[in-house]
Amino acid sequence: MAGSDILRRKYLKLAAVSGGSAAVAGCGGFFEDSTDGPETNAEPSAGEIPELRMETADFASVRQFDNENYAQLHASRKRRAIEILLTDPAVNDLVSDWIASFEAYEVMTNHLETISLQGPTSLSIEERGFPDGDTAEFEITAENRQTVYGLIDRHRDEIVALEITEPQDVGWTKTQNAYEMAIGQLIHETEPVRDAFGDMSEREWYPSWKGSGGGFTGLGQADLRHGNGATTVMYVKDDGAVRIINAFVDGSDPENPEIISVSILNNAVEYPPTEIAETIEPAANSVVDSLPDVPPEHRPYYTANDGYHRIEPPDESFDQDDWTIEWEPANYQGVTLSASYRDSPVFEAMNAPITLTGYYLPPREGRNTFDWYFPDGDTVFNGDLFFWDVHGRATGGPGLIGKLDFPARGATPSGFQLKSHFHTGAVGRGSVDFHTGFRFGPYNYDIAYEFYEDGVFSPIFRRTGPGYVNLFVQKIRENADTYGESGSYEEPVVQHYTATQAIDVTPGTEDGVAVELFDGDEWTTPEEEFYLEAEAGMIARFSNPDGPETVDVPLDDDMELVVVRRDETEIGPGEYPAHRREDEETPSSLAHPAQYVDGQAVQGERVIVWLLMVGATSQVPHPTGTANFVTSAQLTLSGY
């Protein structure tokens, strides 16, 4: 019998004698998953194995998983990890008392995963300056907020490390102008609000116009032209709970905004941890005092350091794994990167200019995203709600928050990930409200880039919720009796997004590229700009006309591609979006990158490659925060 098998059996026997299931969790499978374990002549002792697993665990890269298992883990294991944490009675009791909650999840090596939950037990709101002044100021305090950190063995569904922070009161301020508050007054007088809450002047509440500033850009609703809609959210204390007012506003005439609809929700997400806790039968005894704490470096980035983002950015220029990377903080459209490989340029700029998120769409029926979202070729959305999300520092920061290093593991070479985070209102180290659990509406995006020593680089887009999914899940339930009236069942698509990556590609040259397409059978040479709905097996190739350097973009059926001439008047990577927010017509008129395709020549020209990664988020098991949705691409270099 192999020595590690003997050791494992001895340890399991010791754990059984001690009666601790958590001790068993500390053992399982270190040797079977780790291909680069500690170099030592002696087997570690049974007592060393749990600590050793944690010490040698890293955040996992996409390439360390086959068969799209990385995406599958995020779609299914986040919910399961929450449930495992809630089996501990101390955690279950704590979470059950929260009035709001937030969760974060990351996949780790050594078949571990890290999870955090946080929330407060109460909320206090002090209102000043409204309605008589020009602005209203709301001082909000989340009381007794605590965070639970856990490391979970995903093979055994057991807790390896567990930590509960001490309670603390955290506060933030919401300042709203008179224009916004006048709209708020109209909302308070609507029938749904009156029926649910009575006279709002007798209630404790506060508003959230995250990212809107009272303007009407980047949002489409029903038959409103893109850029003419707005939304507002209000949180209302109601008998020891917090409920949500959501209103949609028609801003076609900014001088006379109209309320389109008002909805009342009980939760920001469909399956909040507080409700999941009610479905869990806790264990007899807590292990919180018998297990190690979760090391800070193993906590999810979004809830470390008292609930703020962990912000540990690298130098703005660095060399690693044959790559030279320079990056600029997010301005209007995400973190901008430039890269060279083995001292030859790869792209001058790459970033994520926009994410298109649509709610309550009709069935897709084989259409590309442009025809599906905007069937008339106009900017009127084909569903109920459309967001044109801005990954900017002013409205959605904080931008780049860290660099994760990946040692070589098995067949996967060494590399690193640049991790950025965007959600509405997350300016600087702020967004305390969001990470405390008052999070209905704002998007929550992890936009990352992985680079490997063998010349592979991958943009990764992860939507971690919640957005407006719960509103439209509720709408579907309310309208369930109308489905099937025609003898068929066509439930609306609750949520769908298209994440964009814009790449100013420079394969060994800055003077223009050769463009080729492989359709699975043969290569062709497109002469003009194009918009392509991809199929598995397709490849787009951008190469140096006078040299060997090539960037290949393998495509799949969850991708689309737009290739256009570089044009400083259009939104794109690098410096091009400088006009974006100053020129009001620009964000209102661009609804989809396919609009930029107008027949210009591309061969031998500098081009912008728009890689559209399509995300059918309504197909995941739990789409409103208790699951992460991941989509990624893998680009390869040759001739360098």
- Domain endpoint, select from 305, 331, 357: 305
Lowest-confidence pick of 322-336, 424-438, 452-466, 496-510 = 424-438
* 279 and 329 co-located in one domain: no
Q: For the segment 464-514, what is each residue's pLDDT rounded down to a tens digit?
A: 878 888 998 888 888 777 766 666 777 889 899 999 999 999 999 999 999
The proportion of the chain whose per-residue pLDDT surpasses 90, expressed as a percent, equals 54
Average model confidence (pLDDT) across the chain:
84
Which pTM was predicted? 0.88
Mean pLDDT in residue range 3-32: 30
User: Beta 135-153 vs 122-128: how paired, if at all?
Assistant: antiparallel
Q: For the segment 65-119, what is each residue's pLDDT rounded down to a tens digit?
A: 988 899 889 989 999 999 999 999 999 999 999 999 999 999 999 999 999 999 9
Helix (H, G, I), strand (E, B) or coil at 616: coil
627 or 108: which leads in pLDDT: 108
User: Is the CB of residue 21 less than 8 Å from the CB of residue 159?
Assistant: no
Q: What is the pLDDT of residue 19?
A: 30
Pick from 247, 211, 131, 213: nearest CA to 178? 131
User: Is the CB of residue 350 less than 8 Å from the CB of residue 573?
Assistant: yes
- pLDDT at residue 399 above 90? no
* 272 and 365 co-located in one domain: no
- pLDDT at residue 616 above 80? yes
Q: What is the pLDDT of residue 419?
A: 95
Helix (H, G, I), strand (E, B) or coil at 275: helix
Range of the domain at 17: 1-56
Helix (H, G, I), strand (E, B) or coil at 184: helix
Lowest-confidence pick of 2-11, 261-270, 583-592 = 2-11
DSSP labels, 366-405? T--HHHHH-TTSSSB-SSSEEEEEE--HHHH-EEEEEEEE
- Domain endpoint, select from 305, 334, 365: 305
Lowest-confidence pick of 344-358, 399-413, 574-588, 613-627 = 574-588
Q: What is the pLDDT of residue 23?
A: 33
13 or 530: which leads in pLDDT: 530
* 400 and 423 co-located in one domain: yes
* 264 and 294 co-located in one domain: yes
301 within domain boundaries: yes
Q: For the segment 258-273, what is each residue's pLDDT rounded down to a tens digit?
A: 898 999 999 998 899 9
| Rounded Cα distance, 379 and 588, in Å | 8
44 backbone dihedrals φ, ψ, rounded to 5°? -65, 150
- pLDDT at residue 180 above 80? yes
Helix (H, G, I), strand (E, B) or coil at 193: helix
Q: What is the pLDDT of residue 187?
A: 93
For 61, half-sphere exposure in the C-beta direction (CA atoms, 13 angstrom radius) is 28
Q: What is the pLDDT of residue 476?
A: 84
239 or 113: which leads in pLDDT: 113
| Rounded Cα distance, 114 and 462, in Å | 16
The radius of gyration of the chain's CA atoms, rounded to the nearest angstrom, is: 25
User: Is the CB of residue 462 less than 8 Å from the CB of residue 74?
Assistant: yes
How many structural domains is the chain composed of?
A: 3
Cα–Cα distances (Å) from 231 to 26, 245, 303, 362, 442, in that order, read 47, 11, 27, 22, 11
- Domain endpoint, select from 38, 56, 74: 56
Q: What is the pLDDT of residue 7?
A: 27
* 117 and 28 co-located in one domain: no
The one-letter code for the residue type at 499 is: A
**Which residues, at least 6 apart from 635, have a Cβ–Cβ distance to it below 8 Å?**
456, 457, 458, 459, 551, 552, 553, 554
